[in-house]
Copies of this chain bind each other. A is one copy, B any other.
Amino acid sequence: MAIDRLIEAIERKKNPTVLGLDPRPDHIPPSVTEKHTAKHGQTLKALQGAYKEYVFTLMDALRDLVPAVKFQSACYEALGPGGMEVMRQGVLWARNLGLFVIIDGKRGDIGSTSEAYSAAFLGRTQAGDALLPVFDADALTVNPYLGSDNLTPFLKDCETYDKMVFVLVKTSNKSSVEVQELTAGDRPLYRVVAEQVSRAGRHLAGQYGYLKTGIVAGATQPAALRQLRKDHPELFFLVPGYGEQGGKAEDLAPAFDRHGRGALVNNSRGICRAWKKSGTADYADAARKAAARMRDELKKAILL
């Protein structure tokens, strides 16, 4: 079951880090970009080639260190359909390396449209009698603003194709307070949403007690993390905001249970752009060192 596979991969690698693959043109070492620009000029095609080389190299370099990768869909969409193709190939490659793959698309719509999103990222698209995989990740991030009929098609594919969703509850950005912390009844909105996610996924529990419907809860909000863990021992957390956004290892401890389980901590810039800080062109080596450092920091703060 997807959630159990994820938990076991984390335990095998003794590391709850998810490698965030969020390339931007200025994240990529000039030596990589220049090679592709020389061939294709200053075009989307050149950037697509540079992103592919960069992302595949990082996955190869970190395959034994991290249990999971997260593709930030926006970054690939910004390069157009050819960028989406880089993401699609990246997902295939990651699965080939045995990594758990999350697509961070934060999708959400009315039910009939969510069916199409779910077909794209988790399920299958029907062509005549054929059921065809498209991006086929292990998990997708989902936005809760449209309520449960948005969630239903994703949950159906979680059952049929053994996938997961992570629903946005409390995000890591500053302005997350503006909507997510509005008081709804006696509680902030994000706690109401977490309750909805738990109810929607209650029939999808794995052997460690966690549901296939996880939530996104930011590292920059330790009080919210603590509250959510207390409210929902059954929800697995995807935690963004570690490192450059300000979240620290000790802030994350409340996200984990007494077995050291319960959360996956994302780091994108801190790992992928480590080459900039260390002043090296060997970005793969810089990323490995940064990822190992992060794993050791997390180990100290969390029982693993």
Contacts and interface: CB of A to CB of B under 8 A. Distances in A.
Interface of A: 22, 24-25, 33, 37, 42-44, 46-47, 72, 74-75, 77-82, 84-85, 88, 106-111, 113-114, 116-117, 119-121, 125-130, 132, 134-135, 143-150, 168, 171-180, 182-185, 189, 192-193, 196, 240
A176 B108 CA distance: 12
Nearest to A111: B173
Contacts of A79: 125, 134
Contacts of A193: 179
A179 B144 contact: yes
A24 to B, nearest CB: 7
A184 to B, nearest CB: 4
Nearest to A121: B77
29 contacts: A37-B128, A42-B129, A44-B132, A44-B134, A72-B116, A75-B113, A75-B116, A77-B116, A77-B117, A77-B120, A77-B134, A80-B88, A80-B120, A80-B134, A81-B82, A106-B107, A106-B143, A108-B143, A110-B173, A144-B145, A144-B179, A145-B171, A145-B179, A146-B168, A146-B176, A148-B178, A178-B196, A179-B192, A189-B189
